[in-house]
Amino acid sequence: MILDERRDYAINGIYYFLLSQTYHFEADKQQQAQLLLSNMELYGSGIARVNYQAETATLNNIIRDWQNKPELTDAVSSFNLSAWIKELKTVNEEFNTKYLSRTQEYGDANPETIKLKREETNTAYYALKDRIDALHLVVETPLSPYTTVINQLNALTDQYNKLLVSRTESFHVGNAENPSV
User: Which ranges of the chain does DSSP label H, i.e. alpha helix?
Assistant: 2-21, 27-41, 52-68, 70-78, 82-108, 111-138, 147-177
| 97 and 8 within one domain | yes
| 101 and 114 within one domain | no
140-152 exposure pattern, b = at least 16 Cβ within 10 A, e = fewer: eeeebebeeeeee
| 94 and 58 within one domain | yes
Domain boundary among 107, 134, 149: 107
Domain boundary among 57, 81, 107: 107
| 116 and 102 within one domain | no
Q: For residue 178, what pLDDT is reported?
A: 44
Residue range(s) defining the domain that contains residue 118: 110-177
* Of 50 and 77, the one with more pLDDT: 77
Q: Report pLDDT digits (tens) over 99-133.
A: 999 888 877 777 777 788 889 988 998 899 899 88
| 48 and 128 within one domain | no
| 157 and 96 within one domain | no
Task: Provide the 8-state DSSP code for 6.
Answer: H
Say if CB 63 and CB 92 are below 8 A apart. yes
| 119 and 59 within one domain | no
**pLDDT averaged over the chain?**
88
| 114 and 102 within one domain | no
CA pseudo-torsion sign 171, 5, 49, 65: negative
Domain boundary among 85, 107, 129: 107
Percentage with pLDDT > 70 across the chain: 93
